[in-house]
Amino acid sequence: MSATADIHAEAVCAWLAAQARARAVEEDLARLVGINSFTENVEGGRLVAAALREAFATPGLAHETVSSARFADHLVLRTTHDAAGRSPIALVGHLDTVFPPGTFEGYRRDGDLARGPGVLDMKGGLLVVAYALRAISEVCGLAALPPTTVVIVADEEVGSPEGQGVIRSAAKGAGACLVFEAGRKNDLVITRRKGTGAMTATAHGKAAHAGNAHREGANALWSLARFTDRVMALTDYDRGVTVNVGKVTGGESKNTVPDLATALLDLRFESRSDAEELIRRIEAIATEACVPGTRIELSGGIARLPMERTDASVRLLEAYAASARAVGLGAGEAGLIGGGSDGSTTSAMGIASIDGLGPRGIGFHTKDEQIELATLLLKAGALARFLLLRGALPALPDTTQRGG
């Protein structure tokens, strides 16, 4: 770290420590968590977006709202200074949660812990970003940073059907992306996530009476059973490819040849090539498995491509880890994560991406969701140090992914 950046980083940590003593970040967290922002609760999501605009109200940071007819507003925030010659950074998160209104509500302090919906996944992570930027703004101004874009989507918990496009547009040209999903035990940083997919297989046949006209029927369930057996056999644990047929419906009664049956499929994979091959093989099976007089129609496909570990993402991890260690955090690398995140989107764009940089905690997606409150501002300090160091460097020619 340059001498100037080092001085600024120490001053940033002192400012953050003062905020901790004043419990300012906890007040902001309680406000955000106190508003239900279940993905389908559009009004609640908009209220959280409004609160986030206030939390990110920092000189030198321009705010853009990407409106949605289906979800709450998505937010894009950009530094406004001229930072030509420095490699852009994207900081990504989401404001929605998985809890419908009335199921898990409110913020609660429990000793050194904070509990409530979103403290970990991921309103706490959004405040890590907000306080890092505010601290830098107070100490030396955001002009010390590389070009920085913050993207906050409102639909991550349902796969970011709109958010993926918002991220692709806002993060285009970034040399690195940091994602502030739930922090793991020992502050392990995520470099790999499985990709995800979902498909629906609908078998069409011809109904007939099973006793009087069995020959005249075409059994949709039979075709779907043959299809199910064959696609389940595509699972390859050594490659990290899994197919799960999780729900099958069809038929009217035992004495009627069923003319309609449906299966829901969950797909997981570790590489883009495996994802594409898996879809091709499922499509082929949909034709091969049909008994005469039936057909199988497929819908859906790849939902998120995998977040793949590359040479560039390892270098990014090492750079962030140095800043994390400097403020007293752990800095190891997490193993493969089975679920996707918005880091999968930036990784698929060829942007070096790391994830899991929110506060340390446990219980996301459960009513035991909690964080270690002190790690909120420690993570903010780590991010601030990292950003100040990047701001002191010229653009790096090899920050995008080249495999690894």
Alpha-helix runs per DSSP H in 92-219: 123-139, 163-171
Per-residue pLDDT, 403: 41
Q: What is the pTM of this model?
A: 0.90
Please say if the pLDDT value at position 167 is more than 80: yes
Count structural domains, the chain: 2
Q: Is residue 371 part of a domain?
A: yes
Identify the residue whose tokens are 């390892």: 314
The model's confidence at residue 399, banded by pLDDT at 50, 70 and 90, is very low
The model's confidence at residue 84, banded by pLDDT at 50, 70 and 90, is confident
**279 and 365 housed in the same domain:** no
Q: For the residues 382-386, what does the mean pLDDT come to?
A: 97
Q: Which of 304, 318, 297, 285 is nearest to 389 (CA)?
A: 318
Percentage with pLDDT > 90 across the chain: 92
Alpha-helix runs per DSSP H in 56-162: 123-139
Count of C-beta atoms within a 10 Å radius of residue 297: 11
| Domain termination residue (choose one: 289, 304, 319) | 304
Can the peptide bond before residue 122 be classed as cis, meaning omega within 30 degrees of 0? yes
**229 and 151 housed in the same domain:** no
Please say if the pLDDT value at position 174 is more than 70: yes
**214 and 185 housed in the same domain:** no
**90 and 161 housed in the same domain:** yes
Per-residue pLDDT, 1: 55
DSSP 212-276: TSGGG-B-HHHHHHHHHHHHHTT-BGGGTBEEEEEEEEE-S-TTEE-SEEEEEEEEEESSHHHHH
Contact 291/218 with Cβ under 8 angstroms?
Answer: yes
The model's confidence at residue 394, banded by pLDDT at 50, 70 and 90, is low
**189 and 203 housed in the same domain:** no
The model's confidence at residue 134, banded by pLDDT at 50, 70 and 90, is very high
**204 and 226 housed in the same domain:** yes
The whole domain housing 379 covers: 3-193+307-391
Percentage with pLDDT > 70 across the chain: 97
Pairing of strands 361-362, 74-79: unpaired
CATH value at residue 296: 3.30.70.360
**165 and 246 housed in the same domain:** no
**103 and 64 housed in the same domain:** yes
- For the stretch 175-221, pLDDT in tens is 999 999 999 999 999 999 999 999 999 999 999 999 999 999 999 99
Helix (H) or strand (E) holding 46: helix 42-55
The model's confidence at residue 83, banded by pLDDT at 50, 70 and 90, is confident
**98 and 224 housed in the same domain:** no
Please say if the pLDDT value at position 261 is more than 50: yes
**157 and 238 housed in the same domain:** no
> Residues 277, 281, 284, 285: what is their CA dihedral angle, to the nearest 10 degrees?
-170
Contact 164/156 with Cβ under 8 angstroms?
Answer: no
The model's confidence at residue 99, banded by pLDDT at 50, 70 and 90, is very high
Q: Is residue 403 part of a domain?
A: no
> For the chain, what is the mean pLDDT?
95
Q: For the residues 30-51, what does the mean pLDDT come to?
A: 98
Helix (H) or strand (E) holding 197: strand 195-204
Q: Is residue 397 part of a domain?
A: no
**164 and 120 housed in the same domain:** yes
Rounded CA-CA distance 160/341 in Å is: 9
Q: Cα angle vertex 29, ends 27, 31, to 5°?
A: 70
